[in-house]
Chain A
């Protein structure tokens, strides 16, 4: 067996030296009784590439943040973390004496605002007839706008207050918009200005995928299990050799969770061909197929971009859809190129 192995290697060496100086062409008449079959490469507009690492993330800047209006003694979340909530759905109950301090502050702010507004309204005719000086008017205006802003600020929070329970000294804050709630669980007290929760709008939940720069321009969509999601935007700033691409909003039917680390199958928008795997062979470090032309088979170099279960996805400068590619006995035909055959 060893001797036979060595003999064939000799043939192969001779074969290689012979074919390296000429194009690899084999006449069909040389194929003897080998079973031969041909396939026309199938042209497709897009193809699936190698898996890419991805994450379900929120598009930055779209979150709705809700802060604590006061130092809160007790914060009770009424929904689960990551739950999809509708607008005006109760989210959190704030309980404690400070809640009533806050309400009193609103009342005080309202009174101050009313007083400032009355004074502002009354002094407007006086300013027009020159009864009061400019300095005095600036002081009245500042006081009015300051009280107005203070009151409006508190009023905005109150717009999110669904209910107030004086008995329990609590108020319930509701969702200002629909989306996914991101609760800020703290082990320490919630002081004024601390985030209570944020609402992530459903349309800002996307697939964030790192795509190799070389393929970023043709990336059109990503596939996760049975879910097909188109790409919305691709960053123009590189992170190493990758670019970050964002998909369109993730449909709820995909059952993907925010923060989930996944592997996606990228889909590239590029005209490529599918050829059977059994058609492709390696020749001098190059992937090639045998194409039929008249009564000959001619080896053609191809660029393999990926594969499916049965086919290779190949790119070629030529229009392959009109040609026939050998799809049977390819290894034996390669053997002819190598000079094998006979006893």
Chain B
């Protein structure tokens, strides 16, 4: 069949060229169509429910909201994991679905279940299914600057003018407005006036709610016409609100203004934004899952430009995070690497082939294969990002292999100056190597197939790599057997088939050294195998990590203060730190800090938590050579702020951490159970065991108990005498502290919430709280302390649940030993020393879990891949021994990988493992090139030694070409420093190191082993 394809191509050259041209154009078009992003979408099909219950404690929310929702959700099919975090005033429930579940179906399922349980929630619960976003969705952030506008006005502008317009942009899931003050109309009841008027708190609330309505009444038929009838009573502004009649009898009318103080106020703030030491208001744009990020950002910028013309004078939209920067830098990094790789490969081809025409023919396979890859990426909805394009860079060296083998053989055949038509020679040359080329490519594709079985984060990251490589290799294979021979038929001539002198000299030198090696076989073997053993020793010394941290180019500084801190005090500390950093670290251009929770609740932080976005100056203005040094400088400044914990992260990294189980560390020990106190005790005991286990570092324990609160218990006997119920008492308390939302006033497109709240400075001491006056339902006035008992209590700070069970977690990193033995030892200790009460269990997770999962996947699939490769090799050579001979090259390739990893200081990680997998393919491919030639020339040479030596010499050029093109193709990744480089670097280092050793062993060890094998046979 292969011969037919080649024959068809060479007989229908014009047709093939036209098809190639069409494919090129389609590939170019595909490149512009492919969604562009920095990273692949690493999130599973995930639906998040965020429910806000202002004023409620974690325990209450868990009982009344989280558990009912979880119970309802547990029945949904295709779910992978259900987990929740319940904190003060918020419940955050996340449901991950199995791979491949349609997100829209999943969201619909969750929405249906949520609506089924909604009616059972307590009053005042708001929220629902969160926007359809991923950890990569926060793509654009800006603050609205205008010195003439107050924070409230700026927020209003963002919320009611800018947000609705931005939401019209295709691909925008939501726009989160943070900071400033959310305007409200605040009604502060006058207890004395209410008591005198005989109006209770409930009466007041009811009267306001009931009297802010426009209702359609129906239609009235008048003669031949029908006229719509409606009742009107909606409140339009604060003045109308003040005039609202609350109670009226024959002689007296009580209006709201008579019973309460009405002011323009603001909703209780759960968070704030500060910029360069001053409070600000910001907008955060969240992109839809699967949106074309680069395109969405472009549309957002266009819309903002349009919006900015209509903003009040002096307004400035200050962008401090723009994903396009990361995308551009990432794509630039990878494009540069790609360009450099292509250039290096072309130079190498020119050097090895000694002829520009032949080099050009081979080089043409690169852009053509790349364009065909883009076409397939577009067809299979694969986005262009660091990983997928990285896959292309990894493949660059291998892409030319097929064409190199074909063209090299072509050149050799033409050089023999046989009296046959050139086209026929080309056909023969191509046909001769077709099977090794196909089997070689299939081997490479099989080698990368284990990556497709990776799941979790590593799967999301490396599947695009594997898929792109497979696409590229497939494209290169097709081209090498169709288009390349056609182009070669036009370009390659006898002149270009002459071998360069340098190669001839190299071959001579190689032959001499090979002969010497055959003479000193034993010492050579001893040295080679000794090096293999040494490299195995080095393997244990190589540092191990799960995944290198991707450098996004940005820095987020996370601050954490005393847990009970007020928002104002928290902001004050943030401001101090911002001012200090701006003064002392000139690399920071501006800082925008987000303290506390956002409005949507996607990031339910406490008031003590702050994420500071650092916008950095261009790198050429830095005093430092890299980001690590800059972070060190910032760290030095921050260490001068005791009492504040800090941490460095990056925008996407932060969201990814939150998306995953939240257990960051090599090992996470989760204790499942029901009682918070017991969980707390067990966690503490296990934490001690972990600390005492050798190899444990950074042991951290999640505290789930110990949140202090003031408990007010209504004296029922006394309160009932006045008609006060627990619910009314709770509502009253809420009005004094949080504010009770009673209705909304529509002013044009603005909706202003109306709250019953304390308009004064607010209660700020226990004494004031105790003496707070309240109107009893019987209209008498009482102090709070007269009807309720105040006690201090401790309760859970947060409640974490997984699959419907509460749990607490201990995390630890492991140093100086392997994680598996650490976990085994710890498990034995826990079983021996801790008696778990009935209903309690312990499970192990964390990065260990990911590593185990990845290892298990690879351990299952790699042997399978090796079996398949063996099968292909057996089919190609018809001998299991020869297949084994080729596979024997693999350990020596691994040896180079390990040595280079050790000396480069890189860690053994998932990308490095991917490098080893790639090495497997390249090492086998080199062996195939060598052994296939030996087999082809079985009857050409009379002596075995001559066959081995001459064969090796003849195969020197293609082997060196494939090895060096692969090595130099990856070289730009070793020296790349942009975002994404750190994930590709270990991979490139492993492959380059491995290629170096595997090429040497292919050129020296393989001939010896082949000789030995043939001699025995």
* Chain A interface residues (CB < 8 Å from chain B): 1-13, 30-35, 49-54, 212, 240-241, 260-263, 277-278, 282, 285, 287, 304-307, 309, 312, 328-338, 340-343
Residue among B195, B561, B635, B800 with most chain A CB within 10 A: B561
Contact in complex: A306, B765 (CB < 8 Å): yes
* Structural contact, A5 and B798, CB atoms closer than 8 A: yes
Q: Is the CB of B196 within 8 A of A241?
A: no
Are the CB atoms of B761 and A10 closer together than 8 Å? no
Q: Judge whether B703 and A13 touch: CB under 8 Å.
A: yes
Task: Kindly state the separation between the CA atoms of A285 and B711 in the bound complex, as whole angstroms.
Answer: 12
8 closest Cβ contacts across the A-B interface?
A335-B643, A6-B702, A50-B771, A261-B196, A9-B703, A33-B640, A331-B569, A332-B643
Q: How far is the CA of A1 from the CA of B602 in the complex (A)?
A: 12
B642 within 8 A of A: yes
Q: Are B191 and A3 in contact (CB under 8 A)?
A: no
| Of the residues B609, B773, B792, contact of A5 by C-beta under 8 Å | B609
Q: Which applies to chain A's interface (DSSP): helix, strand, loop or mixed? A: mixed
B744 to chain A, nearest CB (A): 29
Cβ of B80 within 8 Å of any chain A Cβ, yes or no, is: no
Known: A1-B658, A53-B195. A34 touches B643 (CB 8 A): yes
Say if the beta carbon of B558 comes within 8 Å of chain A. Answer: yes
Q: Is B642 a contact partner of A9 (Cβ separation < 8 A)?
A: no
Q: Report the minimum CB–CB distance from A37 to chain B (whole Å).
A: 11
B192 in complex: contacting residue of A240, A262, A335, CB < 8 Å: A262
Residue B646 interfacial (CB < 8 Å): yes
CB distance from A267 to the nearest CB of B (A): 14
Residue-wise interface mask of B (664-689) relative to A, using a CB-CB cutoff of 8 A (1 in contact, 0 not)? 11000000000000000000000000
Whether B573 contacts A329 by the Cβ 8 Å rule is yes
Could you list some 18 contacts between A and B, CB below 8 A?
A: A1-B605, A2-B85, A4-B560, A5-B560, A6-B701, A8-B645, A50-B772, A50-B783, A241-B786, A260-B196, A263-B190, A307-B768, A329-B643, A331-B643, A332-B562, A334-B643, A335-B642, A335-B644
Instruction: Please state if A336 and B767 are interface contacts (CB–CB under 8 Å).
Output: no
Q: Which of B637, B648, B701 has the most CB atoms of chain A within a 10 A radius of its CB?
A: B701
Q: Which residue of B lies closest to A210 (CB)?
A: B781
Give, as a whole number of angstroms, the nearest-CB distance from B792 to chain A. Answer: 5
A340 touches B85 (CB 8 A): no
Judge if B563 is at the interface, Cβ distance under 8 Å.
yes
Q: Does residue B706 face the partner (Cβ distance < 8 Å to A)? A: yes
In the assembled complex, which residues on chain B have CB atoms less than 8 Å from the CB atom of A329?
572-573, 576, 643
B-chain residues with CB within 8 Å of residue A312 when the two chains form the complex: 764-765
Q: Does B570 contact A (CB under 8 A)?
A: yes
CA distance A263 to B775 in the complex (A): 12
User: Given A12-B703, A34-B643, are A304 and B560 also a contact pair (CB < 8 Å)?
Assistant: no
The answer to whether A3 touches B764 (Cβ under 8 A) is: no
Contact B792 A285 (CB under 8 A): yes
- In the complex, whether B884 has a CB less than 8 A from a CB of chain A is no
Q: Which residue of B lies closest to A9 (CB)?
A: B703
* CB of B766 within 8 Å of the partner chain: yes
Chain A residue with Cβ nearest B769: A50
- Tell me which residues from 72 to 127 in chain B have a Cβ below 8 Å from any Cβ of chain A: 85
B700 touches A33 (CB 8 A): no
Does residue B66 face the partner (Cβ distance < 8 Å to A)?
no
Give Cα distance in the complex from A328 to B702, angstroms.
30
Residues of A within 8 Å of B641, CB to CB, are 32-34, 332, 341
Query: Does B851 belong to the interface (CB within 8 Å)?
Result: no
B→A interface (CB under 8 Å): 85, 190-193, 195-196, 558, 560-566, 568-570, 572-573, 576, 580, 603, 605-606, 609, 611, 635, 637-648, 654, 657-658, 662-665, 700-703, 706, 708, 761, 764-768, 771-773, 781, 783, 786, 792, 797-798, 800, 809, 811
Q: Are B642 and A304 in contact (CB under 8 A)?
A: no
Contact of A341 among B576, B645, B657, B809 (CB under 8 A): B645
Other than A9-B706, A9-B797, A263-B191, give 4 A-B pairs with Cβ distance below 8 A: A10-B701, A11-B645, A50-B768, A332-B643
Residues of A within 8 A of B658 (CB): 1-2
B558 contacts A340, CB within 8 Å? Answer: no
Q: Which of the residues B196, B642, B797 comes within 8 Å of A332, measured between beta carbons?
A: B642
Please, which residue of chain A has its CB at the minimum distance from the CB of B775? A53
Do A305 and B640 touch (CB < 8 A)? Answer: no
In the complex formed, the residue of A with least CB distance to B768 is A50
- Prevailing SS type, chain B contact patch: mixed
Contacting pair B662 A2 (CB below 8 A):
yes
Instruction: Give the complex CA separation of A260 and B700 in angstroms.
Output: 62
Q: Which residues of chain B are within 8 angstroms of A338 by Cβ–Cβ distance?
A: 562-563, 643
Judging by beta carbons under 8 Å apart, are B708 and A285 in contact? yes
A338 CA to B786 CA in the complex, in Å? 35
Q: A1-B603, A262-B192, A263-B191 are in contact. Are A341 and B642 (CB under 8 A)?
A: yes
Give Cα A314–Cα B176 distance, bound, in whole angstroms: 42
Enumerate chain B residues within 8 angstroms of A277, measured Cβ to Cβ: 764
CB pair A305 B767 closer than 8 Å: yes
Check if A49 sits within 8 Å of B781, measured CB to CB.
Answer: no
A331 smallest CB distance to B (angstroms):
4
In the bound assembly, the distance between CA atoms of A305 and B770 in angstroms comes to: 11
Given B192, B564, B703, B768, which contacts A53 in the complex, CB threshold below 8 Å? Answer: B192
- Cα distance A106–B13 in the bound complex, in angstroms: 146
Return the contact of B195 from the options A52, A261, A328 (Cβ within 8 A).
A261
How far apart sit A285 and B793, CA to CA, in the bound complex (Å)? 10
* Given A3-B700, A34-B642, A35-B576, A49:B569 Cβ within 8 A: no
Instruction: List the B side residues contacting A263 at CB < 8 Å.
Output: 190-192, 773
Docked CA distance A268–B644 (Å) = 40
| A7 to B702 Cα, complex, angstroms | 6
Q: Within the assembled complex, what's the spacing in Å between the Cα atoms of A312 and B765?
A: 8
Query: Which residues of chain A have C-beta atoms less than 8 A from B85's C-beta?
Result: 2
Of A13, A33, A305, the contact of B706 (CB 8 Å cutoff): A13
With A and B bound together, what is the CA distance between A317 and B792 in angstroms?
Answer: 24
Nearest chain B CB to A76's CB is how many angstroms away?
Answer: 22
Residues of A within 8 A of B638 (CB): 343
> Which residue of B569, B700, B800 is within 8 Å of A278 (Cβ)?
B569
**A7, A241, A333: residue with the most chain B Cβ atoms closer than 10 Å:** A7
A12, closest chain B residue (CB): B563
> With A and B bound together, what is the CA distance between A35 and B277 in angstroms?
14
Please measure, in the bound complex, the distance between the C-alpha atom of A341 and the C-alpha atom of B635, giving whole angstroms.
12
Q: How close is B931's CB to chain A, nearest CB, in angstroms?
A: 52
Q: Known A6-B702, A6-B809, A329-B576; judge A306-B195 contact (CB<8 A).
A: no
How close is B865's CB to chain A, nearest CB, in angstroms? 36
Q: Using known A-B contacts A53-B195, A331-B573, A341-B645, determine if residue A1 contacts B563 with beta carbons closer than 8 Å.
A: no
B603/A331 in contact, CB under 8 A: no
Q: A331-B569, A341-B644 are in contact. Are A307 and B764 (CB under 8 A)?
A: yes
Contacts of B643 on A, CB cut-off 8 Å? 34, 329, 331-338, 340-341
Known interface pairs A2-B85, A34-B642, A261-B195. Does A307 touch B573 (Cβ–Cβ under 8 Å)?
no
Give the docked Cα–Cα distance between A290 and B560 (Å). 21
Q: Is the CB of A34 within 8 A of B764?
A: no
Instruction: Determine whether the beta carbon of A1 is less than 8 Å from that of B657.
Output: yes
Q: Which residues of A contact B665 (CB under 8 A)?
A: 3
Q: Are B645 and A212 in contact (CB under 8 A)?
A: no
On whether the beta carbons of A1 and B609 are closer than 8 Å, the reply is yes
CB of A1 within 8 A of CB of B558, answer yes
A4→B700 CA distance, assembly (Å): 10
By a CB distance below 8 angstroms, the chain A residues around B569 are 278, 330-331
How far, in whole Å, are A331 and B606 apart by their CA atoms in the complex?
15
Q: Which residues of A contact B798 (CB under 8 A)?
A: 5
Most buried by B among A7, A287, A332, A337: A332
A290, B939: Cα distance in complex, Å: 96
State in angstroms the CA–CA spacing of A8 and B558 once bound together: 12
